[in-house]
Each structure stands twice: as C-alpha cells, then as structure tokens.
Amino acid sequence: MKLSRFSMSVEPYAAGEQPRGKRFVKLNTNENPYPPAPECAKAIKSFDADRLKLYPGIAARELREAIAEKENVGVDCVFVGNGSDEVLSLAFRALFDPHGEPVVFPSVTYSFYPVFCSMYGINTATVENEADFTVAVEKLTDGQGAVIANPNAPTSLPIDLDDIETLLSRMGERPVIVDEAYIDFARRTRSAVPLLKRYDNLVVVKTFSKSYSLAGIRCGYMIAGPETVAALERVRDCFNSYPVDSLCQAVCTAAIKATGYHEASVQKVVETRTRVMKILRTAGYEVLESDTNFLLVSGGERDYLKLKDRGVLVRWFSAERVRGYTRVSVGSDEEMDVYLRALLK
C-alpha cells in the first residue's frame, strides 16, 4: 500500500525502553517509585463501570476545578489532556505558525519539542546550552516563540524564575511555553504559574506522570490565559474531543486533592536523590546538581550497557553534548542501592 511521504520520513520521539520478560530495575523513564495516593485506589474502587457507557465530560469540570484550586487560578485558565505530551503537542499547534519564524529552544532539552515542530511544519532554532549545561534564556528571544523545560531535561538543572520573567517581558506578545514536568522536585526554582497575572504570553504545562506517580493513567494540564485555553480546545476538537477519560478524571481529581501524601512522596525522592548524588560524587562520577527526579551521571554508553547487563535500565542519549552521560531516574532507596552496586562493582 502506498503510505504518506510524511509517515515514511518522519523521525518520531523515541521513548525509553519498556522491557518485557526479564525483570529489570527500571530507572530509564523517570517514573516515580512510590504508588499514587491511596485516594486514587479508592477512586478506582468506587468508580461505577456503568459510567463508561457514556462519553466523559468534555469540560472535565471537577478535575479542572481541583487543578484550578491547587494552582490558585480560575478554572477557565486550565486545560487538561492525555498526558502533558499531548498538551504540549496541542499547544505547539495552537500557538505557533508553520513555515514562519522559528520557535526557539535550547539544544539540550526535551527531545519531543523538535518532533512536534517537524510534525506541524514549524521551523526551529536552537541555542547552545552553556558549557555547564545551564540555559541562557535571554538568548531565546529571536523567534515567533520560545520553549523551555524548567527544570530542564535531561540536564536536571533549574532555570531562575527571574530569568523566565525577563524572557516573558522581552517576548512581548510572543508565546513562551514553560514545561514544568519536574517542578515539584525542584528546590532551587519555583513554578512560573504566579507570573500569569502579569504575562499573558505565558503557558505552563504540568503532568500527573512524575510527582503524582500516575504515568500509567496519562494526564497532563496547561495553565494559561482563558484565550489560550480556548485556542487549545479548538485545536483539540480537530483531533479528539474526549482525550481525558472518565476514570482518569476521577483518579487525577483524587490525586491532586491528596496534598499531604504528594508532598511526602516528593520529599522521599528528593532525599534519595541527595544521598545517591553524594555517593556517586565520592566515587568520582560527575553528577549535575539535580532539581528533578533523575540524575545526569558521567559515564555514557559503556555504563548504560554494563548496567543493562546487570539488570538495571537507565537512559543513554546519543546526542553529542550528552553522550558521555547516563540519565538515571531516582527510584526507591532499595532500587538505588541495586543501581549503585551494579555500577560500582
């Protein structure tokens, strides 16, 4: 059968391996080692399967209200989607024009951004990260919009909120997407959401996959001005009007209300991160100071292969600037001990 030129030539995003069979300690996709809040299990148990005969509420009202309350914004500032990857994809489509000025992002950042752009015919320009991998955000201003991940991935490094504010003000009306997938693990930067009061070119994207331990349910959200939310709703309705199913809405509503559990689970990951970072540095590895639930550790492909051979999966990227490192998700203390033994023996 003849297939489209696009599907034959596109270079899709490569997600981390999902092994079947052999049991690995899985530290390659930045999942949370702890279970979601007990309230999520309760929400599943009390969910009436009869509801599944109907389409889910298109407005996801209860979930959006719970997010709005947590983020201290109006409910018309919240857009939800099937994972933050989908939210980002719709945001790229809704905010940026194809074949025009480039959208600008750092050269070392989340590798899905160029994929969205190539899918939609959006031109891109990248700005080299500094020698220490930090992002000089003032260099991102020469395009139709800018995209940053804060903290950045896979570097694990934070971006200062003052620098983000400078970027927002220099960009004027042009959109700035701040991808905050890992923000809850950050201790040296904060969420940009409060800046929305002063900058309506700001778009913040978050996820339930990491700090809420809900990677399997697929839910992410955007906080932005009501007109931006309405634009994403129009674009969403050109793909799929119901990306967030009823069960997902119930589970994520329960998760976001369980604030005490969320904070405690994040704190455990942060403490393990600090412990493992110290051990690795003492053993002579270079480890970037992390504000996320993963560590960028010197070593590269050899360590990736050695660890895989010893039953531990980490992520290795072949891109030039990061090929000398592995990205290691922060698992439970027990998992990290297995990792350390496998790496150091």
Q: Which residues bind ligand PMP (CB under 6 A)?
A: 83-85, 110, 149, 153, 179, 181, 207, 209, 215, 220
CB of 89 to ligand PMP, least distance (A): 9
| SS3 category, 172 | coil
CB of 269 to ligand PMP, least distance (A): 15
CB of 23 to ligand PMP, least distance (A): 23
Task: Rank residues 207 and 342 by Cβ distance to ligand PMP and give the closer one.
Answer: 207
CB of 183 to ligand PMP, least distance (A): 10
- Contact of 174 with 144, CB cutoff 8 Å: yes
CA 100 vs. chain centroid, Å, equals 26
CB of 84 to ligand PMP, least distance (A): 3
Task: Rank residues 209 and 272 by Cβ distance to ligand PMP and give the closer one.
Answer: 209
- Cite the DSSP H helix spans in the chain: 5-9, 38-45, 61-71, 84-95, 113-120, 161-171, 226-239, 246-257, 259-282, 301-309, 333-344
Which 8-state DSSP code applies to residue 185?
G
Which 8-state DSSP code applies to residue 306?
H
Task: Rank residues 33 and 220 by Cβ distance to ligand PMP and give the closer one.
Answer: 220
- Contact of 222 with 87, CB cutoff 8 Å: yes
Residue 314 burial class via C-beta count within 10 angstroms: exposed 0-12, middle 13-18, buried 19 and up: buried
Task: Rank residues 29 and 118 by Cβ distance to ligand PMP and give the closer one.
Answer: 29
CB of 11 to ligand PMP, least distance (A): 17
CB of 144 to ligand PMP, least distance (A): 21
Task: Report CA-CA distances (Å) from 24 to 18, 310, 311, 312.
Answer: 10, 9, 5, 5
- Contact of 180 with 161, CB cutoff 8 Å: no
| SS3 category, 226 | helix
| Encoded amino acid at 279, one letter | I
CB of 319 to ligand PMP, least distance (A): 15
Task: Rank residues 73 and 88 by Cβ distance to ligand PMP and give the closer one.
Answer: 88
Pairwise CA distance, residues 276 & 272, whole Å:
6
Residue 30 CB partners (closer than 8 Å, separation 6+): 153, 182, 210, 292, 293, 294, 329
Task: Rank residues 156 and 342 by Cβ distance to ligand PMP and give the closer one.
Answer: 156
Query: What values do phi and psi take at 80, rounded to 5?
Result: -115, 150
